[in-house]
Amino acid sequence: SVGHALNGTIQEAVNFFAFARSRQTAPQVKGGSPFTENYSVLGPEVQVAQDGTSVGQANTRFIDTLLSADTVTIAGQAASHCVKSTIDDLLSQIQAKDPELAKKVYIVRDCMSAVVIPGGGPDLDYTDRANQALDRFADAGMHVVESTTPMTNWADFKA
């Protein structure tokens, strides 16, 4: 995509959903502070600087929205970094509130990929890191699914 803008095909699907369902979408922009890294859409990697000043904060409104949703479906780039960090943050919130909430999270494995730098050797291929994270999320109760499997066949899925 261009910057943080959605890919045109995805944006078209979002617009169609909003029109067909008469629902407002709520895009979430990450990285609002130049003083900390935001891999996760749920909050920055560092929230307080060494001198004690705040450099960022968790997106509590969005976290609350996800925790109260019936189902959370996750896809995006990159499985080894940004998506992984977002799911790590969500899982931390779920475990603090109610570990059973993990069952309502569906991670669409084939709609994301790990960072791989061609010709960079094994140190620059993060596929194993992404797969280990997906295994950990599944062990915590989240569902790792494929886009080619009808949602009605996803375990515990409520239509």
CA separation (Å) from 113 to 66, 81, 152?
23, 10, 24
pLDDT digits (tens, 9 = 90+) for 76-93: 989 999 999 999 999 999
> Of 22-26, 58-62, 122-126, which range is least confident?
122-126
> Cα(64)–Cα(119) distance, rounded to whole angstroms?
42
pLDDT for 102-112, tens place per residue?
A: 999 999 999 99
Q: How many CB atoms lie within 10 A of CB 70?
A: 8
